[in-house]
Amino acid sequence: RKEVEQDPGPFNVPEGATVAFNCTYSNSASQSFFWYRQDCRKEPKLLMSVYSSGNEDGRFTAQLNRASQYISLLIRDSKLSDSATYLCVVSASNDYKLSFGAGTTVTVRA
């Protein structure tokens, strides 16, 4: 079983729509959670960290559900520039390595 699993998508949405997707993680000892964004043939870049109480950063909202071991990302009022692959990333408390999901592809159309 993969450590981090994501729905690969693609999610095709019109501009202005809301899109949300989850990822699940298998290691109950995971303590740190992140969403990274990766544009086509580019390097991953940190989008936001995910905190236990959930957090917002502009149009992006991240939630963590420890009991069910999943993380979600919601994008409101989506823009064309939001088109990318979103990588779910977790790290265990005693481990410096990051475990990446394979990514969820979002395409925002005009």
Partner 1 sequence: GAGVSQSPSNKVTEKGKDVELRCDPISGHTALYWYRQSLGQGLEFLIYFQGNSAPDKSGLPSDRFSAERTGGSVSTLTIQRTQQEDSAVYLCASSLVLAIKETQYFGPGTRLLVL
List contacts with partner 1 (CB under 8 A).
2, 4, 31-32, 42-46, 49, 87, 91, 93, 95-103
Structure tokens at 63: 């939630």
What residue type is assigned to position 48 of the chain? M
- Backbone phi, psi, residue 26, to 5°: -100, -25
Q: Which is nearer to partner 1, 82 or 103 (CB)?
A: 103
Q: Which is nearer to partner 1, 46 or 80 (CB)?
A: 46
DSSP letter at 34 equals E
Count CB atoms within 10 A of the CB of residue 105. 19
For the CB of residue 15, give the shortest distance to partner 1 in the complex, in Å: 27
For the CB of residue 32, give the shortest distance to partner 1 in the complex, in Å: 5
Q: Which is nearer to partner 1, 78 or 104 (CB)?
A: 104
Task: Please give the angle made by the CA atoms of 43, 104 and 60, to the nearest 5 degrees.
Answer: 85
For the CB of residue 20, give the shortest distance to partner 1 in the complex, in Å: 20
